[in-house]
Every structure is written in C-alpha cells, then in structure tokens.
Amino acid sequence: MASSVNETSEYAIEVNDVTMIFNMASESLTNLKEYFIKLIRRELFFKEFRALKNISFKVRRGEVVGLVGTNGSGKSTMLKIIAGVLEPSEGECVVRGNIAPLIELGAGFDPELTARENIYLNGSLLGYTKEFIDDNLEGIIEFAELQDFMDMPLKNFSSGMTARIAFAIATITEPDILIVDETLSVGDVFFQEKCERRIQRFIESGDVTVLFVSHSISQVERICQRAIWIEKGDLRMDGPVNEVCEAYRNQFN
C-alpha cells in the first residue's frame, strides 16, 4: 500500500518490506485476438516475476539519494511505487509531502494537444491551479527554451523537447520530494546541465528530498550524498555514495 501523510517526521519516505510481483504471460502471443481466445479457453497461464524483493529503506527530509543498478534491476519500479503510480504487491510505502515525479516521459501529457495546453493539463495533475499556471507560464516556457513551439501539438515534439517541458513544469515550484528517473538523459548536454543546476539549488535549500536514478555513476557521485544499489530486485547495498558507487563499479572488474 502506498500512502501519503502530512504529519511531521524526520523521514520523507519510508519503504517497508516492499515486494513487487508482475504477472507475465508464459508464452508469447502475437495479437490481442489470440490473447482473448486463450483467456476464454482458460489456456492462458502466467508466471510470477518478482521485480522487487522485500525492499526496505528510509529517506530523511532534505536527503539526496541515488538509485543505481544494472538494466532491469527494479529502479524505475521502485520510483513508481514511491510516486504512487504502482501499488506494491506486498509491504507499504509512506511518503510525507508533495512529490514532483519525473519518471515516465510523456505520462500526464496528451500528444494531440499543443505544448501550451499540455502545460495546463500536466500542471493540474501536479496540483497547480489555473491561476498559478497563468502566473508561471512565462517562467516555464523560458526555462524549457521552447518559445517558438508552444502552439505545436506535442506529438510533433522530440523526446528531448518533451523532457524540457516536463522538467520545467515539475520544478517551477520547490517540491517536497523530487523524483528524477532517466527522463533527463534524453535532453541535450546543455539542458542536462541546466536541470542539474536547478536540482542543486533545491538541494542547497535543504528542504527538498531528492531521489535520483542515473546510469551515469559520476553524475550520481556529483549530486547525491547516499546511494542505494538495487540488483535483480534485491537491495544489494545502502550507504555513503562513494562507497556504494565503488562497490557497484567493482562488480564489473
């Protein structure tokens, strides 16, 4: 169960014994028709896949934590559970404060609407009022540096342009908890540096808790104080960023 509560506690996030089980079809089906026929004939079997296994950790308010792990190890699944996008199969996740989740590029956007309309749509999903977005629209557009593209449908945007809009909206105010997945990696190096500077500003304020996933270990070391290493669904290591990143690197040597 994922829950969001406002009571004061030194912890912004508590992950308690979380397990995530996905049901995967045991054979590959080529189309939806085949799927339904097998489903009706009761010939469809699923096997359980444990993407996360009994994970527990706590994150203090203002702490900056990096999640590392090889492809498919469960990092995004963990972030989605914390953001309340996925419900864990077992265990619970307690989150204190409002979350700005940057996890799935394009989630919360409608490709048929223009960029400007999407700013209002996505902003309302983040809990902003129309008046607030009116007042901050210029700031969002300016940060994204997409002044000339505001009336173009989002379906014509590149992934990097969409990432620019998504980051600009989510960080126009200081969130309590900022969750950043690999979404930023599609931005060009200049925009990535600009985002990193904004994240650094939040970190320096001391009030924002940041969870950060990146395959760039040097970026994790630069931004985070602590790192959590998840490997094939298991929590392998949790500690000071340099120690965890060194152990993570050493597994390949």
Ligand X SMILES: Nc1ncnc2c1ncn2[C@@H]1O[C@H](COP(=O)(O)OP(=O)(O)OP(=O)(O)O)[C@@H](O)[C@H]1O
Per-residue DSSP letter, 154: G
Nearer to ligand X, 144 or 163 (CB): 163
Find all residues with CB under 8 Å of 93, minimum gap 6, and list them. 1, 2, 3, 13, 14, 15, 16, 18, 81, 82
Reading phi first (left if > 0) and then psi (alpha if -120 to 50, else beta), residue 7 is in: beta
Binding flag, residue 88, ligand X (CB under 6 A) = no
* Part of the chain binding ligand X (CB under 6 A), chosen from 54-62, 72-80, 126-134, 168-176: 72-80
CA dist., res. 68 & res. 75, Å (int): 7
Nearer to ligand X, 2 or 140 (CB): 2
Nearer to ligand X, 63 or 181 (CB): 181
Binding flag, residue 24, ligand X (CB under 6 A) = yes
Give me the least distance between CB of 198 and ligand X, in Å please. 23
Binding ligand X by CB under 6 A: which of 15, 18, 51, 140?
51
Binding ligand X by CB under 6 A: which of 4, 25, 72, 188?
72
Nearer to ligand X, 99 or 103 (CB): 103
Binding ligand X by CB under 6 A: which of 55, 61, 66, 76?
76
CA dist., res. 208 & res. 101, Å (int): 13
Binding flag, residue 75, ligand X (CB under 6 A) = yes
Q: What separation in angstroms does the CA of 43 have from each of 22, 26, 46, 99? A: 19, 10, 10, 42
Nearer to ligand X, 15 or 168 (CB): 15
Nearer to ligand X, 136 or 183 (CB): 183
Closest CA to 225 of 85, 61, 103, 113: 61
Q: What separation in angstroms does the CA of 20 have from each of 15, 36, 230? A: 12, 26, 13
CA dist., res. 65 & res. 162, Å (int): 25
CA dist., res. 153 & res. 142, Å (int): 18
Q: What separation in angstroms does the CA of 45 have from each of 35, 39, 134, 227? A: 11, 9, 51, 38
Binding flag, residue 252, ligand X (CB under 6 A) = no
Nearer to ligand X, 12 or 228 (CB): 228
Give me the least distance between CB of 248 and ligand X, in Å please. 13
Binding flag, residue 32, ligand X (CB under 6 A) = no
Binding flag, residue 127, ligand X (CB under 6 A) = no
Q: Tell which positions 91-120 bind ligand X, by CB under 6 A.
A: none
List of residues contacting ligand X (CB under 6 A): 22, 24, 49, 51, 69, 71-77
